[in-house]
Homo-oligomer: A and B are copies of this chain.
Amino acid sequence: MRALLEHADEYRSAARGLIERRPSIVRLIGHGSSDAAAAFAVYAFGLLPGWTAVRDSISLVVYYEAQLDFSDSVVIALSQSGETPDVVAYVERARAQGARTIALTNEPESELARLAEISLPLAAGTERSVAATKTYMNMLAALALLAGVCAERERETADGLRSVADVLSATLDPLERAVSEVALAFAYVGRMYVIGRGMEIATAREIALKLKETCRVAAEPLTATDLVHGPVAALDALFPVWVIASRDAGLRAVLEAAERAHAAQATLVASGSAAADVADAAHVLSVPPAPSPVLAPLLSVVPGQLFAASLAHAKGLDADRPIGLSKVTRAR
């Protein structure tokens, strides 16, 4: 994260181009962890410069070849490897149709980086594990930085990210110890929901993905509100719910949904800066408050990442090399 901040100049210059453009829509695209990061960007751009940002449909453009108006659009393509085929194809088409295109990738020499008008580095160093963790973190940091500069709040955002990096350094070890005690109890769990609300839906998506790919748990991310619009009916005592509770405007909805899950007999794991507020949580994995609300997802994802590593270990799985996955996903 500190290495990323050394590239602030590049982010500043990209942001200037965006401010001039005054996009009516920022289209984020990516799969897997990159798609979770895209969900974060909806809030980072919505709350910092006040721009409408969306997780766009790749298939609409690439497979159905819809003729959309891209003239007021900025496309931000997210891919750790920069080689995801349909992300690359989307950028090619959107650029040909007049979109301003930015690649956020950890591989500055990748096809995606070459095809986009602007390529910004994640600067996360080589990601050796198949399950992305540090590139996910730096994607969030990069998106926050870009949105912050677009809102003319670069200083504050960069300072916030530096402070997040400091907090992480101090928190990782104690959190890892706390998590390993909790994870063991989940060795035979087959299904989970991970709930969050607002910007923490990004965190819910990322933690659920880590549980699926490294621990083989059928973990589905849901907004707190979606949980009570149906899925709550499936819960029982063998179907735990991971609750991401951050101290922000979405907290009340999350706490109410957690109450409903508990009433349905689900064991609750609470994480986030407001984890201690989750009534009846069997396990509480608190993180320090973020320097600003928009940076909270950078901290609240960490207990989930550590938990997944620990649970995978407890189950005798190799979290770095999940069965059937490879570092670069070339699937359509």
Contact = CB atoms under 8 A, between A and B. Distances in A.
A232 B324 contact: yes
A191 interface: yes
Given A50-B68, A229-B331, A264-B324, A234 B256 contact: no
Interface in A236-274: 236, 239, 248-250, 252-253, 256-257, 260, 263-264
B331 A63 contact: no
Q: Count identical subunits in the complex.
A: 2
Given A59-B198, A60-B198, A212 B230 contact: yes
Contacts of A212: 230-231, 233-234
A169 interface: no
A31 B226 contact: yes
Nearest to A200: B59
Interface in A195-242: 197-199, 209, 212-218, 220, 223-226, 228-236, 239
Contacts of A168: none
Interface stretch (A4-12, A39-47, A113-121, A152-160): A39-47
A170 interface: no
Contacts of A72: 24
Nearest to A227: B331
A249 B64 contact: yes
A108 interface: no
A48 B43 CA distance: 29
A64 B50 contact: no
A325 to B, nearest CB: 5
Given A31-B226, A229-B331, 10 more contacts: A24-B69, A35-B226, A42-B57, A50-B68, A54-B56, A64-B198, A64-B199, A64-B250, A191-B218, A215-B234
Interface of A: 24-25, 31-33, 35, 42-43, 46-47, 50-52, 54, 56-60, 63-69, 72, 86, 131, 190-191, 193, 197-199, 209, 212-218, 220, 223-226, 228-236, 239, 248-250, 252-253, 256-257, 260, 263-264, 322-325, 329, 331-332
